[in-house]
Structure 1
């Protein structure tokens, strides 16, 4: 977010004031990428919250699987290595004849088990249970994306080489505009390089929205991480997604499908505002 970046850009020589400012910045929402960022941006939709929760749940299972597999791997490697060393000691013991040495060594070797029904059932059921626990929230998220029963507003998004076009149809009006990246030399102080546009898309908060996404030339992808949306824009095809934004803010995204030489210069800026501000922007009053 612009505010957090501006706060963290203060010089180190500000003493206590600098510490206070940087502490306050911790509580700011992060709705744009930051330097050395590790992790997700702050979610602005229930969908993105669900995606982050699912990621954490899957990571939990992955860590336990990694620990378990690594434990057995190292256990087998070091135990067999130890048995080999013990075998050399046993065979080198002059007090034991060859027959006794072989008997003692065979007792230390792992048993050659070719079939164990109980073990096979266990290692089949455990992965099935894990996959089932992962699948339930996954299906919930998939259905949430397609939850288009109650729609309060529709926005059409068109990908072009190399900018975005937006259309907001209404009963007695239709708002259309293009959103183009601001060149680096034209940026104002505090604006983000390669992420600012000349006209932002304003969307109302706490409203059920439907986004239609398509393209006019080649494949594009409309992606805004904080909103939990990444949908392909395909020529001749309309893809749709449901969206419900829970808080105000400015959310940044980019085209996420390689679409040509200027693919990296197709930023997306969504500004979420209350319904009153949205209507003022959508239907400007004449003086």
Structure 2
């Protein structure tokens, strides 16, 4: 029996030793996109996203310590006060010190968690002076985008159904790749104004720790500052109808020169869309 027990412990230790680095690092190769078997958050690409990641890890540590403490306490109580080890059970029904401790300690733990949490919420909510503004409009079931600081051109982004529909050599990600893309410059503060034209939507990009509801008749704002070039994906994160899953977000973070070139090309490419918006506004 001892041999079987030792083998079980060895087998469990081996499995955990192999799986933990594989699962926890499953997202290291995936930039801005979820990966198979990943249990961690996506790699943070902005300062706010890194703060969110650190906050998540901090709360996880606190939660783990509390869980281990309570588990250890339960095991000790079961052993110490079992019928075998406690022939004369106590009839104590009240202990003032214990009641003060189990009230004060959780309050202190919540305060320790709340202080950095409120600071992070404030940092996410207060938008610094932006370098550019993008307007995202949710429709059933696609996104529309406007660049008011760069000629106010506009376009729509629809999900591609297959790899054969990609025309510019971009990597294809099932249910994430769109026919047109959002392009922003690296290391620039981007303000995103979010609204909807029909029902509730939500503009969410995990790598930036951004998630803002799109509400018809209301203009919500969020911001991010991507610190690394690459392709980052998001999704509509509010149930909005039968094709809710068909509203991906594809953001390309590029150098400033590449962004300037893309803007010049887009102003010509989407000129007709911009004219339609101006006419409808009149």
Q: TM-score, normalised by structure 1?
A: 0.77
Q: Is 1:193 paired with 2:174?
A: yes
Instruction: Work out which of the residue numbers 205, 212, 223 in structure 1 matches 2:186.
Output: 205
1:153 is aligned to 132
Q: Is 1:227 paired with 2:237? A: no
Aligned to 1:184: 162
* Counterpart in the other structure of 1:97: none
Unpaired segments of 5 or more residues in structure 1?
A: 1-24, 88-104
Runs of 4+ in 1 over 6 A off after TM superposition: none
SS for the counterpart of 2:239 is: coil
Q: CA distance change for structure 1 residues 266 and 27 in 2, over 3 Å: closer, same or farther?
A: closer
Worse-matched range after superposition: 44-53 or 67-76? 67-76
SS of the counterpart of 1:150? Answer: coil
Q: Does the CA-based 8 Å contact 2:184-2:259 persist in structure 1?
A: yes
Structure number, greater radius of gyration: 1
Q: Whole-Å Cα distance in 1 between the matches of residues 203 and 184 of structure 2?
A: 15
Are 2:183 and 2:252, in contact at CA under 8 Å, matched by a contact in 1? yes
Q: Rate the CA distance shift 1:143–1:192 in 2: closer, same or farther, 3 A.
A: same
Q: Which residue is 2:90 aligned to? A: 110
CA 1:239–1:86: 2 relative to 1, 3 Å: closer
State the SS of the aligned residue for 2:253.
strand
Q: Distance in 1 between the 2:84 and 2:257 partners?
A: 79
Select the residue among 220, 228, 238 that pairs with 1:239: 220
Q: 3-state DSSP class of the match of 2:195? A: strand
Deviations 1:181-202 (A, max 9, x none): 1112634585111111011100
CA positional deviation for 1:135: 1.1
Contact 2:31–2:231 (CA under 8 A) maintained in structure 1:
no
On the 8 A contact 2:210/2:223 being kept in 1, the answer is no
Correspondence for 2:44: 43
TM superposition shift of 1:217: 0.5
- The match for 1:68 is 69
Alpha carbons of 1:218 and 1:199: their partners in 2 closer, same or farther (altered >3 Å)? same
Cα 1:36–1:29 shift into 2, 3 Å: closer
Deviation digits for residues 50-102 of structure 1, max 9, x if unmatched? 11101110011111111111112222223333xx2467xxxxxxxxxxxxxxx
The offset of 1:111, in angstroms, is 5.2
CA distance in 2 between counterparts of 1:185 and 1:195 reads 11
Alpha-carbon distance in structure 2 between the residues aligned to 1:205 and 1:147: 20
Output the TM-score relative to the length of structure 2: 0.78
Distance 1:114 1:146 in 2: 46
| Distance across 1 between alignment mates of 2:85 and 2:53 | 50
User: Residue 259 of structure 1: SS of its match in structure 2?
Assistant: coil
CA contact (8 A) 1:169 1:175 kept: yes
What 5-or-longer segments of structure 2 have no aligned partner?
1-25, 269-282
RMSD: 2.2
Cα distance in 1 for partners of 2:137, 2:148 equals 14
Give me the whole-angstrom Cα distance separating, in 1, the residues matched to 2:232 and 2:91: 60
